[in-house]
Every structure is written in C-alpha cells, then in structure tokens.
Copies of this chain bind each other. A is one copy, B any other.
Amino acid sequence: MKARKLETCLSPALYDAEYHKGSIVVVIDIFRATSAICTAFEHGVKSIIPVAGVEEAREYKERGYLVAAERDGFVLDFADFGNSPFNFSRETVEGKTIVYSTTNGTGIIKKASSAYAIIIASFLNISAVTEWLLNQNRDVVLFCSGWKNRFNLEDTVCAGAHAERLMNSGLYSADCDSTQAALDLWSLAKNDLPRYMEKVAQRSRLREKGLDDCISFCLGYDYTRKIPIIKDGILVDNI
C-alpha cells in the first residue's frame, strides 16, 4: 500500500492549492477560532456559516441570525459575541445556525476549496480527528492559520501534536521539512504545553486585550469528539 502523504503548511501564504488538490485539509487556529468552533459543535450548534467581510456579517445579523464577529480580537458593535470558546455555551448555541466572521479563518476556507475535504481541528478534538483521518485513505495537509498571513508558533505546535499521532500509525510519510519542524517544536512543547505557550506572540496580544482567559481551555485535549467539516461552504458536524 502506498503511504499517504502528510504535509504541513505553516502559513496561509505558503498554501499551494494545486499541489494539495485531493488532500484532506485540517485547519488549525487554536487561539481561538478552531477551538471556539469545536466548542460550539460540542454544545450542539446546528451549523456555522463562515463569512469573510464585516458587511456580510452585519447583513446576516439584520436577517435575525446570531452573529459572532470580531476584528483583531475586538467584538464588532452589531455582533452578539466574539470568538472566545466561552461564548459558545450550550444555552446560547444549541440547535442554532450561527454566522461566524474572523480575521483569519474564512479566507483559509476559500483558499483550500479545491481540497477533498476541509475539517476543523484543535487540541480539543485531537483524538477524534486522528481516528477519523486514519480511516480515510487520503493525503493530509495540516494547515496552520498563522497570524495575518505570517507563521505562528501555537498552530505549528498543535500541527506537530497531530502529526505525531498520524506518523505513529505508520500509514503516512512526511518528506516535508515543515512537518519535521512541527514535530520537533511539539517535542519541545509537549511536556509542559502551558509553559511553552507563554512565549507565543499571539498569547501576549490576547493578554493585552484581556482575551487570554480561554488559553488554558484551548490547550486541553479531547474536550469533544466532534469534527466540524465544511459542506457547501458551511460548517456542519461530520457524522
């Protein structure tokens, strides 16, 4: 059996849509978008409509949707709440369709639209994601969302955690240096993840804005078995 390819994309600016056509793209943006989305599905959200622009989000709000929208970490005035996982409580989201606007995430989903599938990952659903991927006979791209098209450490470390589990299966080959770097950084981080994350730039940015209360939650393993997946442009539960 031919080994499946495992690649890691360290920033949206490095994603090559043509090269990764047919792969499963695993989007990682742990502080805080993909952690929040995983939490929302654990709490029973029906679906999440990702939107790119502020105006688009506002129009949905006017049509009665619940809207999560922020820019650079600040909740937009017309929105119901921002992007912290703590906003997506069962009381708030169960059974509902939510519109979600983020600085980073929506552009990535568009960029990866020629992939076989796009799923949402974080530490919160790492075991479920690994098990699901092992059951798909597909190449995998771990897609780190980065920050403003740049590299970031937290998503790379989380990609390394996913890569380690996938590589341990023996089903994948990882010839790309990015995966090797992610595995190595994860090896430095894993014994004390909260301490390692202290040096991450995004953590300081969140702290300055008082938005870092969810960091330790975002670093917890297996809060949920849910795997959000894009279907027709909308995030739904991957059953």
Please tell me if the beta carbons of B150 and A14 are within 8 angstroms of each other in the complex. yes
Q: Are B176 and A201 in contact (CB under 8 A)?
A: yes
Question: Min CB distance, A20 to chain B, in Å?
Answer: 12
Which A residues between 115 and 169 are near B, CB-CB below 8 angstroms?
147, 149-154, 156
CB of A130, distance to nearest CB on chain B (Å): 23
The interface size bin for chain A is 20 to 34
Q: A10-B10, A150-B14 are in contact. Are A188 and B184 (CB under 8 A)?
A: yes
Chain B residues near A151 (CB-CB < 8 A): 10, 14, 176-178, 181
Q: In this assembly, does A35 line the interface, its C-beta being within 8 Å of a C-beta of chain B? A: no
Q: Is A106 at the interface (CB under 8 A from chain B)?
A: no
Q: How far is the CB of A3 from chain B (nearest CB, A)?
A: 15
A200 within 8 A of B: yes
Q: Is chain A's interface secondary structure helix, strand, loop, or mixed overall?
A: helix
Within 8 A of B (CB), among A171-202: 175-178, 180-181, 184-185, 187-188, 199-202
Interface centre among A147, A149, A150, A152 (most CB of B within 10 A): A150
Contacts of A147 in B (CB 8 A): 177
Q: Which residues of B contact A184 (CB under 8 A)?
A: 184-185, 188
Does A17 sit within 8 A of B, measured CB to CB?
no
User: Taking each of A147, A151, A201, which has the highest tally of chain B beta carbons within 10 Å of its own beta carbon?
Assistant: A151
Whether A84 sits at the interface, judged by CB under 8 Å, is no
Contacts of A175 in B (CB 8 A): 201, 204
A11 at the interface (CB under 8 A from B): yes
- 1/0 per residue A6-27: CB within 8 Å of B? 0000110110000000000000
Chain B contacts of A153 at CB under 8 A?
Answer: 177, 180-181
